[in-house]
Amino acid sequence: MKDIYASLGISPEIYDFGEAVLASLRERFDAIDATAEYNQAKVLLAMQKNRVSGACFATSTGYGYNDLGRETLETVYAGCFHTEAALVRPQITCGTHALALALGAVLRPGDELLSPVGAPYDTLEEVIGIRPSPGSLAEFGVTYRQVDLTAEGDFDYDAIRAAIGPRTKLVTIQRSKGYATRPSFSVEAIGQLIAFCKSVKPDVLCMVDNCYGEFVQRIEPSDVGADMTVGSLIKNPGGGLAAAGGYICGTAACVEACARRLTAPGLGKEVGANLGQLPAMYQGFFLAPTVTAGALKGAIFAANIYERLGFACVPGASEPRRDIIQAVTLGSAERMEAFCLGIQAAAPVDSFVTPVPWPMPGYDSDVIMAAGAFVQGSSIELSADGPIRPPYAVYFQGGLTWYHAKTGILMSLQKLYERGLVDLKRIKI
């Protein structure tokens, strides 16, 4: 085994370190496998109940009227997420698009949007209008209010109660940490927050950005009161096979509003050709629980590797997992670039490419991204990224298999080691 890893460029000392770390993780990996087994059965049950057949894989074009496969896939998602309805479309380009779609579908001039979990993900700042941008919600008269987390990373319930007012129409909850070093939230904690918000204002809608969180636990935010649960198919639920797309699962009224926003009033869910994408969307969803399990193992491995080297990790090496993202505070742009170089060098696609920071659309600072992926931008595949700004944290996620995630982490450490940016003498096993 050392020889095959050496042929990939991973030195014996790095390999031995990784194996020593792995010896302490078997019990946690077993627990992840048990959750994956549960979620696999849940997806299988939804597919069987909704009578998925070969006819569901037919291509539709043009208007896409009477598309059996598209309609069945949406009932499968609704069944798996335990919601009244779902919108699952390749025309939704990314997670930000899905969230913007959901926000624009239910918010009207004079309404207020509340985030009780602090600042939103960077790309939503222009959607909301925190950073002025043509077409933002602010331009249409939607106001925004934010309640920061406490110093301990908890919800500030007193401040949330004070912030919810007569114009508060929608509460948006970002499950994953995004480009922040706060903890991600468990589904149970999200459920408590939703229940609290609705106790203050019963008619308030609650939307959860579920990106990176699907199938990490046995329940989803839709199981604990979310009116809309939103995500991207090039993250967990696409299983690495979906070439594009996003989903919104929720109440029938909310999903219909989103469909009309995506297409047109009067058309809603009735149109939208699948353009031959359905086989990958179905099969990717079927594989998603096991693919997510591999990514989770990689995240835990990364935390245990880098915490032993003295780097701050969120979540910590022994903390529970709420999503597949592992934040590692590296402390310098040089270390971030070396880490991302290692992830890129471990990729099956474009392994020879050197990732460099660039002014990526939607962000207020240069961002470095490493992703030698089969699907462009797929962050359920092995990837790492982060804004080049203090505290210089890199965000690692993905790996279609656990073994690939493991290779990526070892290669990231290899590149740091070769550049003298880590001291292996500090290793604590």
The tokens for 282 are 């179905």
Range 58-285 has CATH code 3.40.640.10: yes
Would the pLDDT of 427 be above 70?
Answer: no
Does 429 score more than 70 pLDDT?
no
Q: Where are the domains of the chain?
A: 2-39+291-426, 58-285
On the question of a common fold for 2-39+291-426 and 58-285, the answer reads: no
pLDDT digits (tens, 9 = 90+) for 236-265: 999 999 999 999 999 999 999 999 999 999
Cα–Cα distance list, 255 to 30, 65, 233, 274 (Å): 37, 18, 17, 18
Instruction: State what percent of residues in the chain have pLDDT above 90.
Output: 94
Q: What are phi and psi of 217, to 5 degrees?
A: -115, 180
DSSP-assigned beta bridge partners for residue 231: 247
Task: List C-alpha distances in Å: 330 to 143, 177, 310, 333.
Answer: 36, 17, 9, 8
CB 101 within 8 A of CB 261: yes
Q: pLDDT tier at 107 (50, 70, 90 boundaries)?
A: very high
- In whole angstroms, give the CA distance from residue 94 to residue 87: 14
Q: Considering the entire predicted model, what is its pTM?
A: 0.95
CATH 3.90.1150.60 fits 2-39+291-426, yes or no: yes
SS3 239: coil
The winner for highest mean pLDDT among 7-21, 167-181, 355-369 is 7-21
Exposed e or buried b per residue across 160-194, where buried means at least 16 C-beta atoms within 10 angstroms of its C-beta: beebbeeebbbbbbbbbbbbbbbbbbbbebbbebb
In angstroms, the CA 86 to CA 211 distance is: 16
Q: How far apart are CA 72 and CA 340, in angstroms?
A: 39
Lowest-confidence range among 147-151, 175-179, 303-307? Answer: 175-179
Cis peptide before 391 (omega within 30 of 0): yes
> Which contiguous run of DSSP H or E holds residue 135?
none
Q: Are 85 and 74 in contact (CB under 8 A)?
A: yes
pLDDT digits (tens, 9 = 90+) for 268-299: 999 999 999 999 999 999 999 999 999 999 99
